[in-house]
Amino acid sequence: GTRASITEVKEAFCLDYQNCKSLPLFSNISIALCPLPLPLPFPRLFQNTLGQHGEITMNPTASGALGSLDVFSIPMAARLRSSNAILPFIEKRLLDFRRYGMARGSLGSQLLQSWGFQRDELEDMAESQANMVQLLGGGSEGSSDSD
């Protein structure tokens, strides 16, 4: 087998989403070629039916399990799920941000200004958090996906 291109992976991902029964409230697709982050002396942990680029082969290698020197890359995907159980946490952070980070004269606002943040940037951050609170608290029942 050959390594799939970024375009092929993205198209396969989007096609799979088109066939979903329910779509998430919001999603993000991020695809990139990355080196396999395993140290060289890492023990042999891959089955011998895995090729150099993560493809499954029909002919197993005779050497047994494969290590990080034998496998260069592995295709992988992650699906993150969140529920509205995180809502109190986000609401508290938003309240604290407004109270300690945006209130004029607060230590947090002085610190953020010393880091180079302008007032409009702080307002954008608060608005972004408020939108998350609204999405999770207002219209969603149960859980939402973020891919």
pTM of the shown model: 0.43
At residue 136 the predicted structure's pLDDT band, cuts being 50, 70 and 90, is confident
Residue appearing with tokens 């004269």: 105
Mean pLDDT of all residues in 41-66: 64
- Other Cβ atoms less than 10 A from the Cβ of 109: the count is 17
Mean pLDDT of 44-72: 65
Round the average pLDDT of the chain to a whole number and report it. 74
pLDDT of residue 91: 93
For 49-60, the pLDDT digits (tens) are 667 666 677 776
Distance CA 124, CA 110 (A): 17
- Characterise 48 by phi-psi region: left (phi > 0), alpha (psi -120 to 50), beta (else): alpha
**What is the predicted pLDDT for the residue at 144?**
47
